Amino acid sequence: MPTMTEADLKQPEFYINRELSLLQFNRRVLEQASDETVPLLERLRFLCILSSNLDEFFETRVASLKEWTNLNSTTTRVSADNAGPDNLAPQEALRQISIEVRALITEQYHMLNDVLTPALAGQNVRFVRRSHWNAKQKRWVKHFFENELLPVLSPLGLDPAHPFPKVLNKILHFIISLTGKDAFGRSNGVAVLQAPRALPRLIKMPAECATGMHDFVFLSSIIHAHINDLFPGMHVTGCYQFRITRNSELFVDKEEIDDLLQAVEGELLTRRHGEAVRIEVADNCPPEMVAYLLKQFDLEPGDLYQVHGPVNLARLITIPDIVDRPDLKYPPFIPGVPTRLKRSTNIFRTLRQGDILLHHPFESFTPVIDFVRQAATDPNVLAIKQTLYRTGRDSGLVDALLVAARAGKEVTVVIELLARFDEENNINMATLLQEAGAHVVYGVVGYKTHAKMILVVRREKEGFRNYVHLGTGNYHARTARQYTDVGLLTGNETIGEDVHKLFLQLTSLGRFTALHKLLQAPFTLHKTLIEKIECEIGHALRDRPAHIMAKMNALVEPTIIRALYRASQAGVKIDLIIRGVCCLRPGIPNISENISVRSVVGRFLEHSRVYYFHNNGDTQVFCASADWMDRNFFRRVEVAFPIEGKMLRKRLIQETLSIYLQDDAQTWILHSDGHYRRTAAAGHAPYSTQIALLQKLADG
């Protein structure tokens, strides 16, 4: 079949809807919770991760769709962030999302109530229900309520002087029906109660009244048991949990703002009170009370999700950390450290001898922190520059930057204030750094700074030399033990000069000459990737070997997808390892039959981005901060960096690409119908890539 035209390849049936693909990923997360080969407490953790993922999905993706629906958009979404070549109208997307999410929630609560809770009880980890409290436990609950809970509760009776309160985003509330009159003779019959945010949702029972080592009671159960105590002289006829999810996207008008920091701070104040997009309600809540809640939040029945159990399972994620049962968790491990770093105490001397590749979490993130710490105290280091997107509250990297700034070194930090849900933490971090004397800039308005770069300028005998760290993941020590990512430490002069230019570009207003080795969004990354795909097409048409491999979190951008379709038609072999969203539809006869798409979901969140092009035997491999999405190519500052050393390049291909194509333990294959099916090992023990990498790289 001849290659189709660009217009032909735009047919909507060749593309998968972005939101529905994201829900497919969450179904794979849910399947981890049902996998009996996963340790029991880790299965509970996956169940909680699903809730957290769905929260963000509604706060961002559903909120965006609803905005377009409210604007009477009935055709293809046209905003850059919502564009979808699948041509699914927002109303239809919301309808299909509702069906899929309801199925996910039904399975999630079945897994909690009928599988995990009994299995945990069998391991003496119990969620003790009110109906099972003995006399001693009831006395303890009463004491806890009166001394720990009652002083911080503020029930709000509703009447003309007390209208329905502003309900905060994702905070557990109770709607309460009452009979009788209060001290002032009022009998409106409805009250609202917010669960205290400062208290955990699960309280561990003390040993003197517990029946085992790990007995827990839900905070909501304690409130339910003593709800009448909050309304003396009246009678509570019903008490039902509910929770609102709101639009949490921040809007910053780049044409109107004078101070980005002040603009973001102002927007953060509104996030908790954005437009409601979802309401979760306990399934025992009567229809008239449900209708009352929907009216208060201006929501439709399609926005209602009734759940058979505790509202907000995300708060149960603390249980695996609280419960000291190593036998019910993944085995602990010690991340490895490259031999060259173990043998040397001077990281700059080591890098002069050659580059170092770090593969997290199998290898430690500590060398990255040590890189900045040594720079902070080295008298020959004159300047440190770093981008920060997410770092966590207690960051060794930030501490090292503070030390360097206080020591009088030139410290420049490019902080992305609009890192979603980390804005407040980043504002606080910026303030600390500025007070220490660091130069803090907030990137480029309208372009999130998502690149991961550290530049150290050091005076040496030959003159000034640049040392660099580049990475695919955030500078966040905690997630570096949970996410797979790749980092490069290098003293390569050309890469150092490129990174120097990038920092000047971010902090000044000038234009700079082209980069030599790095690819940068929004300028060269997208164009160069298209060129490299076209190059593979050219090799295939000349009957030369042609192969593309890529690992990333998401594939959405339609121009790239169409280029991959053309490559497949030309005979290029294409292997894609995409953890989450994939809008490309593989396996379409004569269109994408040479493309395979797989998703690996396991103990660690697959997060590294690696691009491989066979290039007629002259292999080119890049690591990057960017997924293949519109926002990464056109509305973010991103960096892709080559791995050029022969041994490092071979290692990277093996550890991040080839080995993932062998996995048949934690892999789901995407089919042309848009659904994923889990692989099954045939005639041999399942092969897990993540376990194999732990065995190869970790120290124990």
pLDDT for 80: 40
Rounded Cα distance, 309 and 129, in Å: 11
pLDDT for 264: 46
Residue 186 has pLDDT above 80, yes or no: no
* 521-697 shares the fold of 339-517: yes
H or E segment to which residue 595 belongs: strand 595-600
Q: What strands lie across the sheet with 214-218, from one edge to the other?
A: 125-127, 214-218, 202-204
User: Taking Cα atoms as reference points, which of 606, 603, 619 lies closest to residue 577?
Assistant: 606
pLDDT for 397: 92
pLDDT for 656: 98
Contacts of residue 496, Cβ cutoff 8 Å, sequence gap at least 6: 455, 465, 466, 467, 468, 490
pLDDT in tens, 499-547: 999 999 999 877 777 899 999 999 999 999 999 999 999 999 999 999 9
pLDDT for 258: 46
Q: Which one from 360, 450, 500, 614 is the annotated catalytic residue?
A: 450
Select 339-517's CATH number: 3.40.50.720, 3.40.50.10490, 3.30.870.10, 3.40.250.10.
Answer: 3.30.870.10
Domain 13-328: CATH class, spelled out: alpha beta
Lowest mean pLDDT among 72-86, 240-254, 592-606: 72-86
pLDDT in tens, 264-273: 444 445 545 6
Residue 209 has pLDDT above 60, yes or no: yes
Neighbours of 513 (CB within 10 A): 6
pTM (global) more than 0.85: yes
Instruction: Name the band, by pLDDT with cuts 50, 70 and 90, for residue 194.
Output: very high
Residue 78 has pLDDT above 80, yes or no: no
Residue 251 has pLDDT above 60, yes or no: no
Contacts of residue 697, Cβ cutoff 8 Å, sequence gap at least 6: 335, 336, 359, 362, 363, 655
Please tell me whether the peptide bond between 310 and the residue prior to it is cis, using omega within 30 degrees of 0.
no
CATH 3.60.15.10 is the classification of domain 521-697 = no
Lowest mean pLDDT among 33-47, 315-329, 500-514: 500-514
Residues forming beta bridges with residue 202, ordered by sequence position: 218
pLDDT in tens, 131-141: 999 999 999 99
The domain ranges of the chain are: 13-328, 339-517, 521-697
Q: In this predicted model, which residue has the larger pLDDT, 261 or 388? A: 388
**450 flagged as catalytic:** yes
pLDDT in tens, 213-237: 999 999 999 999 999 999 998 999 9
Rounded Cα distance, 39 and 41, in Å: 6
pLDDT in tens, 446-499: 888 999 999 999 999 989 999 999 999 989 888 999 999 999 999 999 999 999
